[in-house]
Amino acid sequence: MLDIKFVRTNPEIVKENIRKKFQDEKLPLVDEVIQLDKEYREAKTRCDYLRSQRNSISKQIGGFMAKGMKAEAEEAKAQVTSMAKELEELEQKETVLEGEIKKRMMVIPNIIDPSVPIGKDDSQNVELERFGEPVVPAFEVPYHVDIMERLNGIDLDSARRTSGNGFYYLKGDIARLHSAILSYARDFMIDRGFTYYVPPFMIRSSVVNGVMSFAEMENMMYKIEGEDLYLIGTSEHSMIGKFIDTMLEEDQLPQTLTSYSPCFRKEVGAHGIEERGVYRIHQFEKQEMIVVCKPEESPMWYDKLWQNTVDFFRSLDIPVRTLECCSGDLADLKVKSLDVEAWSPRQKKYFEVGSCSNLGDAQARRLGIRIKSKSGNYFPHTLNNTVVAPPRMLIAFLENNLQEDMSIRIPEPLRMYMGGKEVLR
């Protein structure tokens, strides 16, 4: 959410930003907010004046009564009563106007970074850099479910009977590999100075509204019926939410956190749920990175976060590339975002395995997260990035570590988590 003062003084910048995101239907909201804000400030000014006058006149009533000036006292009382009635009406108007302003401000997109490429959708995202040499082996690489089934490591049929499409049972070495990857990711981030968390897996609506846009919520979040609770779609939601309505000392920054959680997503949209596979599913697990920092430090942390993911995948011999998200592909709260994509030898192309985002002060402003400093209080910047999200990452791992005899090579960093195994057969 933008600062109302910024919208008030820079309406054309806000409108141009909306155009860059190809959301022209939101342009009228800017003028509406400015007009509503004008009415709100006028009502507030009048309220402040009436309160001041009421207090002043109320003090006079006692003096009139003490001097026996009953007529003057009654006239003053009538004035106070009249002011009280007008004040009540204006306070109600303030509340209504404040709600209308917030409703519009919540859907006006954040100002994107000047470096973000302008494009309508993800087809216009821009490749930045490749890490590792993408290899296509001489032998045919099977579909990832076929690889898992050869290792007796997945049961989709049972999951369909218990839960429907978009769910799975992992078992045996594949289940162990899944856990090994998460354990390695946890230790990888701890070694880089991040504090490890396991957060709540459900959050209140006040946190949901603070961490994501309404459109994202509708397409992602599962609501717990009869309770003010939602299942998290990523641990970022809980981890940023933990700071709601808090005042941090500046010397407590940066907050560098890494968190494990299961994630639950409706996956509503054009992609749909896979009938047979674990790429797009309703339930998965993830290791996440979260940073709360000074505004001037967020570009530096943004680069550090995506580099962590690249380094993690390269340590497991998986080629990756970085992709800059264009303006039309950015969620409304994001200032800048980059996807990390892993190489798929079977498809002979890259696919998304993680996303790094700088949200500026949008989440902090919505959640009331403030920093206390000697020069005054301010909103921090928040960033998040995926370390790894199996089972999707398993696809890249299995394909890139598959050998001609259909065995799976275990890279050295994972072996301690796999009981010393070097190969899965």
Q: Does the global pTM surpass 0.85?
A: yes
Q: For the chain, give the mean pLDDT.
A: 91
pLDDT digits (tens, 9 = 90+) for 252-294: 999 999 999 999 988 755 455 555 778 888 889 999 999 999 9
- Per-residue model confidence as pLDDT tens digits over 166-212: 899 999 999 999 999 999 999 999 999 999 999 999 999 999 988 88
> Is residue 125 within 8 Å of 338, Cβ to Cβ?
no
Q: Kindly report the CATH class assigned to 4-105.
A: mainly alpha
Q: Where are the domains of the chain?
A: 4-105, 122-424
Q: Residues near 82 by Cβ (< 8 Å), separated by ≥ 6?
A: none
Q: Print the SS3 string covering the chain.
A: CCCHHHHHHCHHHHHHHHHHCCCHHHHHHHHHHHHHHHHHHHHHHHHHHHHHHHHHHHHHHHHHHHCCCHHHHHHHHHHHHHHHHHHHHHHHHHHHHHHHHHHHHCCCCCCCCCCCCCCCCHHHCEEEEEECCCCCCCCCCCCHHHHHHHCCCEEHHHHHHHCCCCCCEECHHHHHHHHHHHHHHHHHHHHCCCEEECCCCEECHHHHHHHCCHHHHHHHCEECCCCCCEECCCHHHHHHHCCCCCEEEHHHCCEEEEEEEEEECCCCCCCCCCCCCCCCCCEEEEEEEEEEECHHHHHHHHHHHHHHHHHHHHHCCCCEEEEECCHHHCCCCCCEEEEEEEEECCCCEEEEEEEEEECCCHHHHHHCCEEECCCCCECCEEEEEEEECCCHHHHHHHHHCECCCCCEECCHHHHHHHCCCCEEC
Q: What percent of the chain has pLDDT over 70?
A: 95
390's tokens: 């199996």
Specify the CATH number of the domain 122-424: 3.30.930.10
pLDDT of 121-150, one tens digit each?
999 999 999 999 999 999 999 999 999 999
Residues near 296 by Cβ (< 8 Å), separated by ≥ 6?
none
Tell me the chain's radius of gyration from C-alpha atoms.
28
Which pLDDT score, from 0 to 100, does residue 280 have?
80
Report the pLDDT averaged over residues 294-308: 97
Q: How confident is the model over 347-375, as pLDDT tens digits?
A: 999 999 999 999 999 999 999 999 999 99
For tokens 């909103």, name the residue: 379
What does the pLDDT read at residue 268?
Answer: 58
d(CA 159, CA 9): 55
How much is the pLDDT for 81? 76
Across residues 46-62, what is the average pLDDT?
75
Q: What angle do CA 29, 31, 36 make, to 5 degrees?
A: 90
